[in-house]
Structure 1
Amino acid sequence: MARTAGSHSGITGPRVRAAAQKLFARQGFAAVSMREIAREVGVQVGALYNYTPDKQSLLFDLMQSHLDALLAAFQDDIEADPVVRLEQFVQFHIHFHHDRPDAVFIAYMELRNLTPANFAQIETLRRAYEDRLEAILRAGVITGDFAVADTKIATRAVIAMLTGINTWFRADGRLSLDDVTAQYWQMVCKSVSASGGLEP
């Protein structure tokens, strides 16, 4: 199939993914058609298939790209104090996700629309990220800085708490993102009984 005149794979491909991300986040995966994505990009619907086999592949690609970037961006010094490592994780998670609201929404809300095979791959990436935090919590339990009965449950609870900021935070609101990050850090400290200025 020939490309639409004036299109270029290095330009149109990213535009297709950007359009799909925008529409999936605004309307939901099930409600968006390939025709709508083509209209958003400014190409004929048939031209989309030069860049993606189908809508499912677009969804998977968006989720995989987001999680690959997340895993690549987070740096953890395993030699550092567990409390310092946890604070760095909190700051990283909040700021990384704040800059990518559409990608975050899709990554969490559209899992149900993945095929079983694609879901399994995305879950593997999600668990790899959770493992980074769980390793920090386990290290803190060993040093006595954290008092966590089940590090896996604590990991998921902390991630859910931090990711929830994206649903309500507004840059023009009462508090800055740094203010919110500082308060969430204190709440995370308390939830795991960390020695970050709070008593266990």
Structure 2
Amino acid sequence: MKIALIPEGGVLITNLIYKNGHTPLQMYNMSPEKAREKDPYDEEVIDYDSELYNLNGSKVQKGNKYVGTEVPSGIKGRLTLADHIIQKAEAAIILGRAPKERTKMYDRLNSTILLYGGIGAGNFPKFLAYQLRKKNIPRLEMAYPTNRHELIRIFERTNNFLQNLEKYPKNYVSNDDHITTDGTPYKEKIAVEELKKIIKDIQ
């Protein structure tokens, strides 16, 4: 099956998708087969068969159908590159946004390579996740790991999801971490009266 991954390009989860017999959908993609066939002495690394390089004419405006005119052109451009992901996705794996206040397990480079890939930034993952959630496809949504145990758990949950994917109904959703569109776990808001009581107690 064709799997959309947010954020796309993370090496570890991408490899799990391949190992379980599925195909990750990415804006820029070079399959393991193409990588193996590539001449190691050839400095040409561009895969001209990918969506990134075969867009022309009206194709460059594909992203406009997903958002309004007020959305920045950078978001529209990335949605154009992700159009085939939205259209072809048969399942989705969504990894939440990294918390600002966290103990980092890896430096920025390794964290990017292992989990987050290198394409897309800012609000783009939110727009892509929103479009995928509108589709009737199985989804696995997980919070960003903040320690070794959570990282291992992500691999276990991803493997389990991929191995049982064909058994799930089309509307299957696993979101035990309660990830919101913002990419963070849902936090229950405090009622106004409760807030007043807290302030009164402090005073």
Higher normalized contact order (CA 8 Å, seq sep 6+, divided by chain length): 2
TM-score above 0.5, yes or no: no
- Taking structure 1 as the reference length, the TM-score comes to 0.26
More strand by share: 2
- Taking structure 2 as the reference length, the TM-score comes to 0.26
